[in-house]
Amino acid sequence: MAKIGFIGLGIMGAHMARNLQKGGHSLVVNGKFPVPDDLRASTTVVADSTAVAQASEIVILMVPDTPDVQNVLFADDGVAKGLTAGKLVIDMSSISPLETQQFAKQVNALGCDYLDAPVSGGEVGAREATLSIMVGGPQKAFDLAKPLFDLMGKNISLVGDNGAGQTTKVANQIIVALNIEAVAEALLFAARSGADPERVRKALMGGFASSRILEVHGERMTKRTFNPGFRIELHQKDLNLALDGARKLGIALPHTASAQQLFSVCAANGGKAWDHSAMIRALEIMADFEIAEAPESKAKAA
């Protein structure tokens, strides 16, 4: 069993770390960052990221954004200072593909392998170990890491060299955002027309419109459960990566831009920490109508 350094024990990272423990692996974590009580009691807590790398064979990162990864890796007390030849760094954050390629080169120069392995599936996927994991990097490093990925996810793919995993994740986030927008528009239309949006959602689950977004996030919309599984501010970050990349590539992503604007409406109304299914709130604000106000919904509440 491997000794794994895990840095980034947030909403998803904590569940991923627990699943590695269930698989029999021991974990080393950075005490400078928040550590849930159960993991603090069951892991080796060290002073900084350098110490994490020194004590581990494999170091996994699960932090919010590109600057966070850069800091964890290359700050004065970062992972790079604790690496020795032959170790493996796995970044499971969702960050810039171009920056990822540079980070990989810097880690490779130390005699270590690097995988970018962002995930999709949110808190539920992290907790239930059903994440989709999109990996960029060398085959030998992927083969070494695959048993660890198997403890955290179900759909695991090596899609290319370093940066390809992050590119795939950006593409994933475009699709997810546009699906959330489609479901939100459909449920708003149904509710404003006088139909019960939850009954409409269930009816649509039996047809060609059925999707995981309609199933999970559509229910969040009708039940008004916007506590975060994946925060709007993080999805905004991912769509910024998409739109910035599109500008550099000279292509247009018009619907990605519109989804980003809807997230911005939510953020401007105090919702940057809402779950991304709360995109429907932006549409409701513009319509001056909440789907819970549908006549049949109000009758049930009476």
Active site residues: 169
CB 62 within 8 A of CB 16: yes
Position of tokens 């997230």? 263
Q: Cα separation of 43 and 6, whole Å?
A: 10
Give ∠ CA 90-213-175 in degrees, rounded to 5.
60
What are the structure tokens assigned to 103, written together? 């980070």
According to DSSP, the residues that pair with 155 across neighbouring strands are: 132
The stretches of 109-225 forming alpha helices (DSSP H) are: 122-128, 139-152, 164-192, 197-204, 212, 218-223
- From CA 297, how far away is CA 8, in angstroms rounded? 41
SS3 130: coil
111 contacts: CB under 8 Å, gap ≥ 6: 83, 84, 85, 86
With residues binned 3-state (H G I as helix, E B as strand, rest as coil), the percentages for the chain, rounded to 5, are 55, 15, 30
* Number of neighbouring beta carbons within 10 Å of residue 210: 11
Pairing of strands 119-120, 131-136: antiparallel
Could you tell me how many residues make up the chain?
A: 302
Compute CA distances 294 → 50, 200, 218, whole Å: 55, 12, 15
The radius of gyration computed from the CA coordinates of the chain, to the nearest angstrom, equals: 21
Name the 3-class secondary structure at 269: coil
